[in-house]
Amino acid sequence: MIKHGVKEEVERDEELKEYLAVCKMDENTVEEVFSKWSLLASLNPEHQFAWNILKLFMLKLEGELNYKMDQKYSKYKNLLENDELEDVSDFEKKYVLSQDSITITGIQNNCKSYAVWNHRKYIYRYINKERDYKLCKRLFEMDPRNFHCWNYSRSNGYSYEMDLMNPSSLKCTNVSKMVAIDPGNRAYWELLQVNALKKEAFYLKLHQEYAKIIFMEPFKGRIVFGEREVAVNWTKCVKLDYNGPFNQDTILGKKEGEGSMAEATLNLNQYSFKQIDEPSIVSMVLELEPSNCHALKTRAFFKNDRCLIAVIKS
């Protein structure tokens, strides 16, 4: 097979030689480690170990290298720990902000790689948001079925034109419009419920014996809930057993003489809890189809006072 005038076997052989040469690069200094593993990550976007090495540079910048890690990372962790961070701004520009371009190169080499999209999400707070939006839009023009990019865009709140014929884009569309078009589609109703929960950073689910705080994204920090304080280390769910005044009734403020505990503080941000607002499409469908089982189940979901959405207090 001929590709651009070069035999495919010859081209592949040249790529392997280039990759092998990078693998043999020295890694005795911080700069050498970054150069080597950033090249390996961009050449082979599926190389999860390479992206994890690059994550260490972010942890160094944020003072979080004290995490317990797998032994295979100890060499690189020790090298970074022993490196004095004299110029924070220079370190950030050279080793963290530059990862924006590295992930773009990785996406160009394999736009459907889980590893590269996961890493881009990991460094999202350091990348150019306008550039990122345009990148995703261009990728959709090239391949509207790229569900990796759709998932990434949805997690960042990006909005693009709706395409009802493209399953990969459905989660990023106006679900109420989809329900109006096809009110008998159960998947649309379930998506309506999920999207309602994803509007805020987390929500509270009350069970018989315990409560759960469920985050939309992995969370690290401290939660103060009533008189309870819990340290959380990158998790999406925290279970809180009921104890004394901490129970369903006091959380909801249903007991006389006891104030509601339906407030929480996460890393100094204060939140209150409320029932999830029912989308207007539910009433609209029930007016036309009072016996629509999907609409009735969805109404029960939104009327459930055991599931409360968190709203940041101004």
The full set of domain ranges for the chain reads 9-127, 198-269
H-helix or E-strand spanning residue 249: helix 248-252
Pair of tokens at residue 127: 């990348």
6 pLDDT higher than 60:
no
1 pLDDT higher than 80:
no
The answer to whether the Cα torsion of 77, 81, 84, 87 is positive or negative is positive
Residue appearing with tokens 């709706």: 162
Length of the chain: 314
**Angle at the Cα of 46 from the Cα atoms of 64 and 140, rounded to 5 degrees:** 100
Question: Minimal CA–CA distance to 261: which of 276, 278, 242?
Answer: 242
Calculate the CA 168 to chain-centre distance.
17
Q: pLDDT-derived band of residue 250, with 50, 70 and 90 as boundaries?
A: low
Per-residue pLDDT tens over the stretch 69-124: 888 998 999 999 988 888 889 999 999 999 999 999 999 999 889 999 999 999 99
The overall average pLDDT reported for the chain is 82
Its pTM stands at 0.59
Is residue 262 helix, strand or coil? Answer: coil
